[in-house]
Amino acid sequence: MNTSTIFTGIFFGAIGAGYFLYGKKEKKFSALFAGALLCFAPYVITNIFLLITVGALLIVLPLTAKYL
């Protein structure tokens, strides 16, 4: 584990915590689901490029959920 993986995990975890709290408060399942996955993904995904790709997709998911 290197520093880029750690900082990327902290970044996505912080955004995930914000999405999770927002989804819980506003009762928006897409934000709640994306926030939980953003908090959990850095523990499972060890490849930095895959983590950034999955994290970026999960950040965009709640913003485009009304179009799905």
User: Does residue 68 have a pLDDT over 70?
Assistant: no
Residue 53 belongs to what domain range?
3-67
| Total tally of structural domains belonging to the chain | 1
Q: How much is the pLDDT for 2?
A: 86
Side-chain half-sphere CA neighbours of 55 within 13 A: 27
Judge contact between 18 and 35, C-beta under 8 A.
yes
The single residue listed with the structure tokens 């953003």 is: 38
The token duo for 63 is 């913003």
* Amino acid letter, residue 32: L
Residue pLDDT, tens place only, 18-67: 999 999 999 999 999 999 999 999 999 989 999 999 999 999 999 887 76
Give this prediction's pTM.
0.87
